[in-house]
């Protein structure tokens, strides 16, 4: 299994995290890229107009302890927080721009409050930071994605100065808030600033920090597949550290009034697909302008928790069973004397695990504890294929569990 053999390895123990997209954009409740997308549409929304939202930002119900309670109830074990998205608004008390949380009616450093709550319960805190910045006058706006098509009146685009601004902010983020366990860049490189010294700075200020692959260089520690659907089969195992990010809603990462929430069945299968492949899963919620999670998100996270804790043993400390089976509808993990069968796409009540031809001592549905029928037997279709007997388990309650991803546990005397 992939390991760094240093402080970064927390990431392999804690596989499920909470992503938070929160900022001024929660006020209109449309999308976190409101500023960018309106400009894409030719609405010419100026940053000065957008910035007026700051005078209305007053999340009086923000309670980081409550956020973490909900996260833990869902089974999440770390959090990644948007310190700054592409609108450039900073959710901490930065000295580098006035466009920040302290200059709102709320007036408090929400990152500091969150960091304190995380510290109290030893809950790893990671920081999301957008490289594109539509507010900073030095950002080289040029329509390369998530920025203005061209510099705005009064701008002084200067990649070097912008990198200096980022460095100063990184220094604040990595020195004022205690332990930062991860740095999650977004939108880097496409803007043409290649600078390895920025990640080196992050690592020097927070030894053992894990850094993703969307920053100013190509030396990130892990990959960040995003919003992958349920893949067609066969699904491949990850060969490098990976964290799949997705949101509870389909349309936006920031709070959205008319959000299309995913179903529990979909989300649990999406999670299963990544955990079974050996990846992490970062599931996002966009808190509303009052600082609370949308009710639908809370209900979903609760539902996920009630599923996740029942099947979690098949992911934690388990490794992808590389010698997989000739069955594109499942992925296997193994731990001690057990094989776990992750059903990506259950179409019937049974599964044949060619080439396994050993009878397990016991076969159960991890979700419910129900015992399954099992046999090493000749199947009608294997009679034509190779005439061999394979492990077949059946009476899986697929309809009863249609709202959640199913995991089977096979306990062997000696693993095949
Ligand atoms: C997408 C969105 C961006 C969001 C990111 C999170 O790239 O466009 O707004 O922050 O996903 O991974």
The full set of domain ranges for the chain reads: 7-314, 319-411
Handedness of CA 175, 179, 183, 184 (dihedral sign): negative
Residue 205 has pLDDT above 70, yes or no: yes
Query: How many Å lie between the centroid of ligand 1 and the Cα of residue 375?
Result: 47
Report the CATH number of the 319-411 domain: 2.60.40.1180
User: Which residue, by CA, sits nearest to atom 8 of ligand 1?
Assistant: 33
pLDDT of residue 257: 98
Q: For residues 171-178, give the mean pLDDT.
A: 98
Residue 32 CB less than 6 A away from ligand 1: yes
Residue 231 has pLDDT above 80, yes or no: no
Q: For residues 365-371, give the mean pLDDT.
A: 98
pLDDT in tens, 253-294: 999 999 999 999 999 999 999 999 999 999 999 999 999 999
Most confident of 102-111, 327-336, 346-355: 102-111
3-state secondary structure of 136: coil
Residue 412 CB less than 6 A away from ligand 1: no
- Give 200's contacts (C-beta < 8 A, 6+ positions apart): none
Q: For residues 160-175, give the mean pLDDT.
A: 97
74 vs 306: CA distance, rounded Å: 7
Residue 253 CB less than 6 A away from ligand 1: yes
Nearest Cα to 225, choosing from 208, 209, 213, 207? Answer: 213
- Give 75's contacts (C-beta < 8 A, 6+ positions apart): 16, 304, 305, 308, 309, 312
User: Which residue, by CA, sits nearest to atom 4 of ligand 1?
Assistant: 253
Is the whole-model pTM more than 0.85? yes
pLDDT in tens, 74-101: 999 999 999 999 999 999 999 999 999 9
pLDDT-based confidence at 234, cuts 50/70/90? low
318 vs 99: CA distance, rounded Å: 45
β-strands 16-20, 280-285 pairing: parallel
Which residue from 186, 189, 225, 242 has its CB within 8 A of the most atoms of ligand 1, so it is best to mutate?
186
Residue 37 CB less than 6 A away from ligand 1: no
Nearest Cα to 256, choosing from 289, 221, 212, 305? Answer: 289
For 344-388, where are the E strands, in sequence order?
Answer: 351-352, 362-365, 373-378
- 146 Cα nearest atom in ligand 1: 8
Which residue from 81, 253, 255, 283 has its CB within 8 A of the most atoms of ligand 1, so it is best to mutate?
253
Q: Which residues pair with 320 in a beta bridge?
A: 333
Are 184 and 170 a contacting pair, CB within 8 Å?
A: no
Taking the mean position of all CA atoms in its chain, how far away is CA 96?
28
Q: Which residues pair with 284 in a beta bridge?
A: 19, 247
pLDDT of residue 324: 67
pLDDT in tens, 235-248: 778 889 999 999 99
Residue 386 has pLDDT above 80, yes or no: yes
pLDDT of residue 388: 96
Are 289 and 384 a contacting pair, CB within 8 Å?
A: no
Residue 186 CB less than 6 A away from ligand 1: yes
Q: Which CATH class is domain 7-314?
A: alpha beta
Are 67 and 20 a contacting pair, CB within 8 Å?
A: yes
Residue 245 CB less than 6 A away from ligand 1: yes
Per-residue DSSP letter, 320: E
Q: Which residues pair with 340 in a beta bridge?
A: 333, 409
pLDDT-based confidence at 13, cuts 50/70/90? very high
pLDDT of residue 328: 77
Q: Per this entry, what is the length of the chain?
A: 416
CA distances from 43 to 35, 36, 38, 199 (A): 9, 10, 5, 36
Are 131 and 188 a contacting pair, CB within 8 Å?
A: yes
């Amino acid at each position: 299994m992939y390991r760094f053999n240093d402080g970064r390895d927390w990431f392999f123990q804690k596989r499920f995290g909470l992503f938070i997209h929160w900022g001024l954009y929660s006020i209109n409740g449309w999308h976190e890229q409101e500023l960018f997308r309106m400009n894409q549409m030719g609405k010419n929304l100026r940053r000065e107009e957008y910035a007026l939202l700051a005078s209305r930002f007053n999340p009086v119900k923000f309670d980081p302890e409550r956020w973490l309670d909900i996260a833990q109830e869902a089974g999440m074990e770390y959090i990644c927080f948007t310190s700054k998205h592409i609108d450039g608004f900073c959710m901490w008390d930065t000295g580098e721009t006035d466009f920040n949380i302290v200059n709102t009616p709320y007036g408090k450093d929400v990152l500091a409050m969150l960091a304190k709550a995380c510290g109290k319960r030893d809950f790893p805190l990671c920081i999301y930071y957008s490289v594109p910045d539509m507010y900073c006058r030095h950002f080289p706006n040029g329509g390369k994605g998530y920025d203005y098509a061209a510099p705005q009146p009064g701008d002084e685009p200067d990649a070097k100065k912008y990198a200096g601004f980022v460095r100063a902010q990184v220094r604040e983020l990595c020195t004022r808030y205690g332990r930062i366990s991860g740095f999650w860049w977004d939108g880097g490189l496409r803007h043409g600033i290649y600078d390895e010294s920025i990640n080196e700075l992050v690592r020097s200020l927070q030894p053992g920090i894990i850094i993703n692959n969307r920053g100013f260089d190509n030396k990130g520690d892990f990959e960040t597949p995003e919003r992958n659907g349920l893949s067609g089969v066969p699904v491949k195992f990850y060969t490098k550290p990976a964290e799949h990010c997705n949101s509870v809603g389909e349309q936006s990462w920031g709070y959205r009034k008319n959000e299309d929430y995913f179903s529990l069945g979909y989300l649990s299968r999406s999670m299963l697909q990544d955990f079974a492949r050996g990846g992490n899963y970062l599931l996002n919620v966009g808190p509303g302008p009052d600082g609370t999670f949308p009710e639908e998100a809370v209900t979903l996270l609760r539902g996920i928790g009630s599923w996740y804790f029942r099947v979690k043993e098949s992911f934690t400390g388990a490794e992808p069973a590389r010698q997989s089976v000739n069955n594109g509808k499942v992925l296997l993990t193994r731990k001690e004397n057990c094989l776990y069968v992750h059903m990506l796409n259950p179409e019937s009540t049974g599964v044949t695990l060619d080439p396994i031809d050993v009878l397990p001592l016991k076969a159960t549905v991890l979700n419910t504890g129900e015992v399954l029928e099992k046999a090493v037997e000749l199947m009608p279709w294997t009679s034509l294929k190779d005439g061999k007997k394979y492990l077949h388990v059946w009476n899986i309650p697929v309809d009863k569990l249609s709202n959640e991803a199913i995991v089977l546990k096979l306990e062997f005397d000696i693993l095949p």
